[in-house]
Amino acid sequence: DTEVTQTPKHLVMGMTNKKSLKCEQHMGHRAMYWYKQKAKKPPELMFVYSYEKLSINESVPSRFSPECPNSSLLNLHLHALQPEDSALYLCASSQVVLALPKQKLFFGSGTQLSVL
């Protein structure tokens, strides 16, 4: 079982809804990530938090709003999404920033999001 826990596992929402994805890890990792993955494509990086501060935002639309309340939690707030935002949203963590040698990503099991 993964040590990165994501909830919910599945989410169906309308374009006017507001919802949040949650991610939790208790490995003491200080870097956390959100990735988006469409079917048959590799994961695409959305956001990186390092020591609870947003360090990378890969030009993600403002309808996606990340939040890192503490070192163990990472949220992704969703508002006014489009059908093309339907995808698997993966949370991941690493001990520290990936730029250091041998750092590895640990992924959560993801939230399968469908926007109607």
Three-state DSSP state, 85? helix
DSSP 8-state secondary structure symbol assigned to residue 41: S
Which segment (16-24, 61-69, 78-86, 93-101) binds other proteins by CB under 8 A?
93-101
Q: Which is nearer to other proteins, 28 or 101 (CB)?
A: 101
Q: List, in order, residues 6 or more apart from 67 with CB less than 8 Å away.
A: 74, 75, 76, 77
As measured in angstroms, the least distance from the Cβ of 91 to other proteins is 9
**Gap between the Cα atoms of 82 and 55, Å rounded:** 26
User: Which of 27/56 has CB closer to other proteins?
Assistant: 56
Cα distances from 30 to residues 23, 53, 73, 101, in angstroms, run: 13, 10, 10, 15
Binding track over 53-72 against other proteins, x by CB under 8 A: --xx----------------
* Of positions 11, 43, 78, 81, contacts other proteins by CB under 8 A: 43
Would strands 10-13 and 111-115 be described as parallel, antiparallel, or unpaired? Answer: parallel
Least distance between other proteins and beta carbon 15 (Å): 23
Q: Give the residues lining the site for other proteins (CB under 8 A).
A: 2, 31, 33, 40-43, 45, 48, 50, 55-56, 88, 90, 97-99, 101-110, 112
